C-alpha cells in the first residue's frame, strides 16, 4: 500500500509556473534621503511611473526627499505637508463664538452636577 500512495507537493512550496516568455517592464531605481536622520531609501518604480517627491523614512518616519544625482530636489513651500491639528479641524467646523457657547453650556452642566454655583453670578 505504501508503494502505491500518491505523492504531492506542499501547498505553496514551489510554483509550477516558469518565467519563460515573460517580458518584465522597464524599471528605474530612485534614492530618497531623509534630512532628519540621513537615512537613504532606495525604491524601484516602473519606468513609465512618476516617482513621488517625498517618501516616508523607514527609520524615523519623516519625509525623505527624492535625490537627483547627488542633490535632493527643491520642494516648493506649498508642497510641504502641513500637519493639521485637532484644533485646526475643529475651527473648520465651528466658529470661536459657537465653541465658547458650547464650553459655557458644558461648564454649567458640570457645575450643576457637582452642586457648585456659577462663578460671577
Ligand-binding site membership of 37 (annotated)? no
Helices (H), the chain: 86-93, 96-114
Ligand-binding site membership of 39 (annotated)? yes
Matching residue, cell 524601484: 44
Q: Which of 83, 79, 74, 84 is nearest to 35 (CA)?
A: 74
Instruction: Give the C-alpha separation, 120 to 107, whole Å.
Output: 13
- Compute how many other C-beta atoms are within 10 angstroms of the C-beta atom of residue 20: 5
Ligand-binding site membership of 57 (annotated)? yes
Cα 98 off chain centre by? 33
Matching residue, cell 462663578: 119
Ligand-binding site membership of 34 (annotated)? yes
Binding residues for Zn(2+): 34, 39, 57, 60
Binding residues: 34, 39, 57, 60
Amino acid at each position: 500500500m505504501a508503494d502505491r500512495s500518491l505523492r504531492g507537493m506542499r501547498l505553496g512550496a514551489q510554483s509550477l509556473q516558469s518565467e519563460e516568455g515573460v517580458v518584465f517592464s522597464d524599471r528605474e531605481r530612485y534614492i530618497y534621503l531623509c534630512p532628519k536622520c540621513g537615512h537613504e531609501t532606495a525604491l524601484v518604480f516602473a519606468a513609465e511611473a512618476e516617482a513621488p517627491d517625498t517618501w516616508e523614512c523607514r527609520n524615523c518616519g519623516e519625509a525623505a526627499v527624492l535625490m537627483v544625482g547627488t542633490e535632493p530636489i527643491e520642494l516648493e513651500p506649498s508642497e510641504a505637508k502641513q500637519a493639521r491639528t485637532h484644533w485646526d479641524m475643529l475651527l473648520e467646523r465651528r466658529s470661536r463664538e459657537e465653541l465658547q457657547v458650547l464650553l459655557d453650556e458644558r461648564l454649567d452642566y458640570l457645575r450643576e452636577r457637582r452642586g457648585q454655583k456659577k462663578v460671577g453670578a
